[in-house]
Amino acid sequence: MPPEKPRRLGRGLDALFGSAEMAPKSALKPENESALKDISISQIVSNPFQPRKDFKAAELSELQESLRSSGLLQPITVRPAPSGSGYELIAGERRLRAATNIGWDTIPAVVKNLDDQEILTLALVENLQRADLNPIEEAEGYNQLIEQFGHTQQTVAAMVGKDRSTISNVLRLLQLPVSVRKLLEAGQLTAGQARPLLGLEDQGQVDALARDIISRSLSAREVERQVRSAGSSGALPGHGRSRKSDTRSADVKSLEQRLRKHFQTDVAITVKPQGRGSINVSFYSAEDFERIVEVMGFRS
């Protein structure tokens, strides 16, 4: 059976904003407001609802070079600051940071009047579309919509164009120990690898298996088998016994880990003689398939 036709992220934003005719006044541009203006960078403060916390120096450096050579291709988005002075960033923090780093005094910006709930949702959708969030940042963004703004998992799913079950699975990652959440934030574990660890109650076993996943490049299915075995025997299998060594080159193993981080799922590279081989990218639901296809750059 062919996979379900992918949905675009954010398709459910109408659930938050309504149609153009029914949009709340705060979501519409006032008639006397310029669509685009140059704003002094010193007047702009960061988005307090920015779900993305990790901005890599290498990515900022590349963007800075792009700004120097080609200028800003897409303006940032801001709103008037609630304090009444200056502006608050809605979207485009990397662009703002890069412009600041290369010494720009002003930056092109679109000004919109949005409330706190709306800017959190827009920031989430923008980062999800660009696959910029690690699993913990994504989970914390959803959790903020639920805890701070009183939404249910179903309404959050409608806002970001995902299934409720997907939102629930992402939120469950916040139940993992801090040590494992940090590995997810650093990209050393994928959500698929970490999720089975929720089946273990012993903190020592969770930490041990998390280290095992990284050192042995275990797939999500292999982690699930380890967790099931620990549940029945009380001990993780394979500990204290010799393990099959991975004879692949360091470059291949490094690339496999980078692909896992990029796609946030299991990726296995098999290398055969004469330069042949395969790259296997796993998905575990129709929603997961849609997400991976979008990360690959395909759109419905």
Residues marked as catalytic? 93
Integer Cα distance of 299 and 287 in angstroms = 14
C-alpha separations of 179 from 71, 169, 184, 200 in Å? 41, 19, 9, 14
Angle at 109 between CA 64 and CA 8, to 5 degrees: 85
Contact call for residues 180 and 197 (beta carbons, < 8 A): yes
Sheet containing 87-91, strands listed edge to edge, beginning at the edge strand earlier in sequence: 37-40, 106-111, 76-80, 87-91, 44-45
* Helices 135-149/116-129 angle, 10° precision: 160
From the list 215, 176, 214, the residue with the least C-alpha distance to 195 is: 176
